[in-house]
């Protein structure tokens, strides 16, 4: 369920860029920092699919993509660990070109020790699979970096990850 939530400038810029790129469906596992993006996507008529697990999101998006649609997958960095097999043995070898939006935990301001190992390794895990990861730290860069990642995904056919870093705010570490 996507509920009313404050929308930060960078969240608006990310959501607008996704909508402008023709995203029709969002598969996600909920997260605090993602919430503003999710509610904006819903407001723009994007089909919202809250699924039970991150690898399920990759599987669902793979089905959408191979059928010619433009999905986006959104998850928290801790959930990236759940998604690795589906990325590495489905999205990457089938060259499905999925755009991923990853809300970072375990870095600046993190108070939960259990979030740290996957947070600090998330970008490296993606790169090891051959997936480029682009860190977003400022609202000013949000539109350009999001649009660029989506182009890489849909036009070059390469999975591409937008990493929403702690400096953006809107996450648990700021509360």
Partner 1 sequence: MKAADVAQAVVETFADALCVSSLGTATSALRAASDDGPHFYLGASMGSALAAAMGVAEAVPDRLVVAVLGDGELLMGASALWSVSAYRPRNLVAVVLSDGAYDITGGQQLSAPPRFAAVAQALGGIAGLRVSSDSGLRRALAELGRPCLIEAELTESAWPGPSPFVDPAQVRLAFAANAARTPAS
Determine what percent of the chain falls in helix, strand and coil, rounding each to the nearest 5. 50, 15, 35
The footprint of partner 1 (CB under 8 A) covers: 25, 27, 47, 49, 51-53, 55-69, 71, 85-86, 89-90, 93-96
Residues in the chain, total:
175
The smaller minimum CB distance to partner 1, of residues 66 and 140, is found at 66
User: Considering the complex, what minimum distance in angstroms separates the CB of residue 67 from partner 1?
Assistant: 4
Nearer to partner 1, 108 or 156 (CB): 156
Q: Which is nearer to partner 1, 90 or 133 (CB)?
A: 90
Shortest distance (Å) from residue 104 CB to partner 1: 24
* Gap between the Cα atoms of 11 and 19, Å rounded: 12
Least Å distance, CB 32 to partner 1, is: 22
Give counts: helices (H), strands (E), the chain. Answer: 6, 6
Give the C-alpha separation, 23 to 15, whole Å: 10
List all residues 6 or more positions away from 27 whose beta carbon is below 8 Å from its beta carbon. Answer: 49, 51, 56, 57, 58, 60, 61, 64, 71, 72, 73, 74
As measured in angstroms, the least distance from the Cβ of 157 to partner 1 is 9
Residue with smaller CB distance to partner 1, 98 or 136:
98
SS3 22: coil
The residue among 111, 37, 123, 124 whose CA lies nearest residue 74 is 37
Which CA distances in Å does 48 have to 73, 89, 115?
10, 25, 26
Shortest spacing between CB 55 and partner 1, in angstroms = 6
Q: Among residues 65 and 119, whose Cβ is nearest to partner 1? A: 65
Cβ proximity to partner 1: between 68 and 113 the closer is 68
Residue 130 CB, nearest approach to partner 1 (Å) = 14
């Amino acid at each position: 369920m996507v509920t009313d939530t404050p929308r930060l400038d960078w969240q608006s810029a990310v959501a607008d860029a996704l909508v402008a790129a023709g995203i029709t469906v969002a598969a996600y596992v909920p997260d605090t920092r993602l919430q503003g993006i999710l509610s904006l996507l819903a407001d723009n008529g994007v089909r919202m699919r809250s699924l039970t697990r991150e690898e399920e999101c990759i599987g669902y998006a793979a089905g959408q993509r191979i059928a010619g649609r433009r999905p986006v997958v959104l998850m928290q960095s801790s959930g990236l660990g759940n998604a690795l097999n589906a990325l590495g043995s489905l999205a990457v070898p089938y060259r499905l070109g999925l755009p991923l939006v990853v809300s970072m935990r375990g870095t600046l301001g993190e108070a939960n020790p259990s979030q740290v190992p996957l947070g600090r390794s998330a970008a490296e895990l993606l790169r090891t699979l051959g997936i480029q990861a682009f860190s977003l730290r400022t609202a000013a860069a949000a539109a350009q970096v999001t649009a660029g990642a989506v182009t890489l995904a849909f036009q070059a056919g390469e999975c591409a990850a937008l990493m929403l870093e702690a400096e953006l705010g809107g996450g648990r570490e700021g509360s």
